[in-house]
Amino acid sequence: MKKLWRNARLATLADPSGWGLIKAGAIVTEGERLHWVGQASALPAGLQVDEEHDLEGALVTPGLVDCHTHLVYGGQRAAEFELRLQGASYEQIARAGGGIRSTVSATRGATDGELYQAALGRAHALMAEGVTTVEIKSGYGLSLEHEVRCLRIARLLAHLLPLQVRTTCLSAHALPPEFEGRPDDYIAAVCEWLPVLHGQGLVDAVDVFCENIAFSLAQTRQVFEAAQRLGLPVKLHAEQLSDQGGAQLAAEFGALSCDHLEHLSAAGVQAMARAGTVAVLLPGAYYFLRETRLPPIAALRTASVPIAIATDHNPGSSPGLSPLLMLSMACTLFRLTPEEALRGMTVNGARALGLRDRGSLLAGQRADFAVWQVEHPNELAYWFGRNPCSRVIHGGQERHPTLPDDAPR
């Protein structure tokens, strides 16, 4: 079925730089794909469509791609937030058995229904701000049984919602209590789970938290080798709290992305540039952990490393569910331009997931786009605490309702 979406201002992001603005634009979708995008005056003569939709002069951008979230978990960590405000550090809390481990016990203790309902509310919040593709990591189950449960719930969201979901296995997120003092045994177990999880169709990519409070470079390598044997792409939580050289290791494995990167070295930047690895920057975690060391933005730009921006939604380091606030913080905290920020949550977000079929408004790409009640795309990084998203089209279909009244915000 062909549909004409007329009377729109488009920010296509179709070229490597610039907004790709088309003032009096139109879009033709055919099924799930964009069939034609351009100036309304240049619409192909004799075009026959099955439906016509008036976008009333609103701004249209590609649907947002949130390429790094931990959406499925039980409980919350507001008490830990208070401890941190009183001076405890994220590392101290983790070493004392809190942090990720406390979410692991809450997740294991939650029913499937509880986990699903909580994740559904979070997915709705992201969708309301124009997200059409989201990545969801496991990593709060930390046993085969509970990792399967969390990844299944992530897949179920994709099945039941007008939303594209990519799942990442992050079983190497923290050491579960039953493996206390035996991190190598745990990593060996994770390497045995991977073929099982993959065999059940639950894994699109494999991630590791490489950090002094998590897993070493050698342990990360083992997980990456197991992923490689299965033909799965890898990603890495790298250089968030210290420089472990994780970026170089990830680049060696042709990683899709390295994420966080506040402590990334010059050598790490070069390795990522050579491998074409995307730098996923997470201003929500930087803000919420009250970090002061910035990722090396200028060096990433100079080396032409693609930069993506994501929410990193999780209960410990980034409990935010507003992709638009992340765009704002990418500019205010990381000094990205509004165009870099939006590119980071569209084209480059898609690239961080290995997806080349979305992220810009170009014929042939997925027909995922968001409609905004703003004049110019720079406003998406300008307003905060206000959601100007009025409509979302996912795979050529209008999503109803775009703003569910009862969606948790």
Residues that bind ligand NIG (CB under 6 A): 99-100, 103, 209, 237, 240, 285, 312, 314-318
The distance of closest approach from Cβ of residue 100 to ligand NIG in the complex, given in angstroms and rounded to an integer, is 4
* Minimum distance from residue 83 beta carbon to ligand NIG (Å): 13
Which does residue 240 touch among ligand NIG, Fe ion, none (CB within 5 to 8 A, set by kind)? ligand NIG
Nearer of residues 237 and 399 to ligand NIG, judged by Cβ? 237
Touching Fe ion, residues 295-314 (CB under 5 A): 312
Answer with the entry of Fe ion, ligand NIG, none that 209 interacts with (C-beta below 5 to 8 A by kind).
ligand NIG
# residues near Fe ion by CB under 5 A: 1
**Residue 103 binding result from Fe ion, ligand NIG, none, given CB thresholds of 5 to 8 Å by partner type:** ligand NIG
Contacts of 231 (CB under 8 A, 6+ apart): none
Smallest distance from the beta carbon of 20 to ligand NIG, in angstroms? Answer: 31
Using rule CB under 5 A, residue 368 touches Fe ion: no
Whichever of 104 and 392 has its CB closer to ligand NIG, that residue is: 104
Q: Measured from the CB of residue 94, what is the shortest distance to ligand NIG in angstroms? A: 8
Choosing among ligand NIG, Fe ion, none, which partner's interface includes residue 365 (Cβ < 5 to 8 Å by kind)? none
Q: How far is the CB of 312 from Fe ion (least distance, A)?
A: 5
Residues found near Fe ion in the complex (CB under 5 A): 312
